[in-house]
A and B are shown apart, each in its own frame.
Chain A
Amino acid sequence: MKSDSAWAGFGSEYLQVLRSEFPKTTIWTWGIESHEV
Chain B
Amino acid sequence: MILSIYETTSLYIPLVQPAQLPSSISIDLTSFWHLSALFSIHYDSMTLPTRTRTEHPFSLDLHDLTARLNIHGQRKIVNPEVTVLSDHATIHDLVLMGWPEVVGERPILGSVLRGSLEDPDKLSQIFGRTGIFSERYSTYSHSSLTLVSFIRNFSLFPRRFRKYSPTTQDQRVFQPLPPCHLTLRQSYPG
Contact = CB atoms under 8 A, between A and B. Distances in A.
A32 B12 CA distance: 11
Interface residues of A, number: 19
Interface stretch (B15-23, B133-141, B154-162): B15-23
B11 A9 contact: no
Q: Which of A3, A28, A31 has the most CB of B within 10 A?
A: A28
A13 B9 CA distance: 11
Interface residues of B, number: 23
A20 B121 CA distance: 44
Contact of B9 (A9, A29, A32, A34): A29
A32 B8 contact: no
Contact of B5 (A26, A29, A34, A35): A29
Interface string A1-37: 0010000110110011011000000111111111100
A28 B9 contact: yes
Contact of A15 (B9, B17, B18, B99): B9
B5 A8 contact: yes
B10 A26 contact: yes
B13 A30 contact: yes
A35 B62 CA distance: 28
A12 B39 CA distance: 21
Contact of A3 (B5, B18, B19, B63): B5
A35 B1 CA distance: 18
B17 A16 contact: no
A29 B15 CA distance: 10
15 contacts: A3-B5, A3-B14, A8-B1, A16-B8, A18-B8, A26-B11, A26-B66, A27-B11, A28-B66, A29-B12, A31-B12, A31-B13, A35-B16, A35-B18, A35-B19
Interface of A: 3, 8-9, 11-12, 15-16, 18-19, 26-35
Interface of B: 1-2, 4-5, 8-19, 39, 43, 61-63, 66, 99
